[in-house]
């Protein structure tokens, strides 16, 4: 390619000074596909488009490869409210279907989406894989197994175009719902999932709302893990597996279970449960939030849907005795107790919902330069030769 104008292109040395890196790092950027070099007739060395350098400089800090900020159009957390692409999550949770909200996050288009026709062979494949799991496996364990096997069985999984990823994600959610142990319900996504979580009469609108409310929440740990995988151009199943791996940590996905267990103890003796928890020095699970200051909008919606359930009186009693406010983890735990959900349902519900968000973040990341996440490693080991 021929240089168009000296003002529009920079030499390797100029790029190194602009980015505050060594020339060797520039060559690494080129090899990783983060920069494209051109040749100018009559001049030695590589040249780089100034516009490309400025875009890279806006994303990096003082050391190479690190993304300082992740720009996203998906979730906005502002003034104790949550929005998906500008739409209030409170309204979405009570007026839209799970599939429609997924479509909104994945494409920006809020439209009615019919449940996809599930390939029978994929459902059977997932069920077979789940069937060999040990009896002690939790529902989230079953989800991880199913996602890995479904990925291995999809020869077109490496097609990362949105036109391929979006329908694949719809199928993945549907297959996971159908393949989990238990009877398949009929109707909405939540109605189909309900019999796998509870034997009580279904209230699918509550479960649908919970899935929508938990679908995305900015750059949580599991979402960052999913974006890092997508930056390496991992396929949808691998991205979801990365998210599920981070979600399994006891600082993240296990919190709904901790809140569920705490509420169980509180039902027997509220004062003793609260006293024991405070004495342990650990936070009371399900109360307070790092971002929200007065209330968690997701919890507000779920508690409104649980109106009239006896468990709410206990939630109010505990809230009166604490300085914090109940968050979405406690709201999910209250829903589990109100409707007799299995003890590991909260984590599974969180995981299934968050697959929607991870997919949306992967689609955003696929549009960014590849391999743009690289932390600065500071070597603290022994000095060679000494």
Which pLDDT value is given to residue 230? 97
Radius of gyration, alpha carbons of the chain: 24
Which pLDDT value is given to residue 144? 98
Give CA–CA dist 11/48, Å, rounded.
Answer: 6
The string of DSSP codes covering 256-309 is: HHHHHHHHHHHHH-HHHHHHHHHHHTSPPTTB--SS-SS--HHHHHHHHHTTT-
Residue 1 has pLDDT above 90, yes or no: no
- Segment 157-169, tens digit of pLDDT: 999 999 999 999 9
Who's near 332: CB < 8 A, 6+ residues apart? 210, 214, 256, 259, 260, 302, 346, 349, 350
Looking at residues 136-143, what average pLDDT do you find? 97
Looking at residues 329-352, what average pLDDT do you find? 98
pLDDT band at 57 (very low <50, low <70, confident <90, very high): confident
Mean pLDDT, rounded, of the chain: 91
Q: How many residues does the chain have?
A: 386
Integer CA distances (angstroms), 115 to 112, 157, 231, 305, in order:
10, 21, 29, 24
Which pLDDT value is given to residue 67? 62
Which pLDDT value is given to residue 42? 61
Phi-psi region of 33 (alpha: psi -120 to 50; beta: other; left: phi over 0): left
pLDDT band at 204 (very low <50, low <70, confident <90, very high): very high
Give CA–CA dist 274/267, Å, rounded.
Answer: 11
Integer CA distances (angstroms), 73 to 77, 92, 192, 220, in order:
12, 17, 30, 15
Which pLDDT value is given to residue 63? 45
pLDDT band at 29 (very low <50, low <70, confident <90, very high): confident
Least confident of 40-49, 91-100, 243-252, 302-311: 40-49
Looking at residues 276-305, what average pLDDT do you find? 95
pLDDT band at 135 (very low <50, low <70, confident <90, very high): very high
Q: Give the single-character DSSP code of 80.
A: T
Integer CA distances (angstroms), 89 to 168, 225, 273, 294, in order:
24, 24, 32, 17
3-class secondary-structure state, position 60: strand
> Percent of the chain, pLDDT > 70?
93
Least confident of 12-26, 34-48, 260-274, 341-355: 34-48
Looking at residues 288-314, what average pLDDT do you find? 96
Looking at residues 116-136, what average pLDDT do you find? 96
> Percent of the chain, pLDDT > 90?
73
All structural domains of the chain:
6-59 (1.10.1660.10), 73-375 (1.10.580.10)
């Amino acid at each position: 390619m021929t240089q168009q104008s000296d003002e529009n292109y920079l030499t390797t040395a100029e790029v190194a000074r602009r980015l505050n890196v060594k020339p060797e790092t520039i060559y690494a950027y080129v090899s990783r596909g983060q920069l494209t070099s051109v040749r100018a007739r009559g001049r030695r060395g590589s040249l780089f488009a100034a516009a490309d350098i400025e875009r890279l400089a806006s994303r990096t800090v003082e050391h190479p490869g690190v993304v300082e900020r992740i720009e996203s159009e998906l979730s906005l957390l502002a003034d104790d409210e949550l929005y998906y692409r500008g739409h209030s999550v409170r309204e979405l949770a009570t007026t839209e279907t799970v599939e429609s909200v997924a479509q909104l996050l994945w494409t920006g288009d809020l439209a009615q989406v019919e449940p996809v026709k599930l390939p029978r062979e994929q459902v059977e494949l997932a069920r077979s894989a789940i069937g060999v799991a040990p009896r002690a496996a939790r529902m989230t364990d079953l989800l991880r197994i199913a996602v890995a096997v479904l990925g291995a069985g999809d020869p077109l999984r490496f097609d990362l175009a949105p036109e391929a990823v979006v329908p694949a994600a719809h199928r993945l959610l549907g297959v996971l719902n159908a393949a989990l142990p238990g009877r398949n319900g009929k109707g909405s996504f939540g109605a189909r999932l309900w019999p796998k979580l509870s034997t009580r009469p279904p209230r699918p609108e509550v479960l649908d709302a919970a899935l929508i409310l938990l679908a995305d929440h900015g750059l949580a740990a599991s979402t960052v893990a999913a974006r890092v995988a997508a930056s390496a151009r991992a396929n949808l199943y691998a991205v979801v597996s990365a998210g599920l791996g981070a979600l399994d940590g006891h600082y993240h996905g296990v919190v709904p279970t901790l809140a569920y267990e705490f509420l169980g103890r509180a039902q027997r003796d509220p004062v003793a449960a609260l006293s024991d928890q405070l004495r342990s020095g650990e936070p009371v699970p399900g109360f307070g939030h790092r971002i929200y200051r007065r209330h968690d909008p997701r919890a507000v919606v779920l508690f409104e849907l649980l109106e009239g359930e006896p468990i709410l009186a206990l939630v109010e009693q505990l809230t009166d005795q604490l300085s914090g406010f109940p968050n979405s983890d406690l709201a999910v735990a209250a829903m589990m107790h109100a409707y007799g959900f299995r003890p590991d349902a909260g984590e599974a519900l969180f995981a299934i919902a968050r697959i929607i968000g991870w997919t949306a973040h992967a689609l955003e990341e696929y549009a960014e330069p590849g391999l743009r996440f690289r932390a600065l490693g500071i070597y603290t080991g022994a000095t060679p030769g000494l």
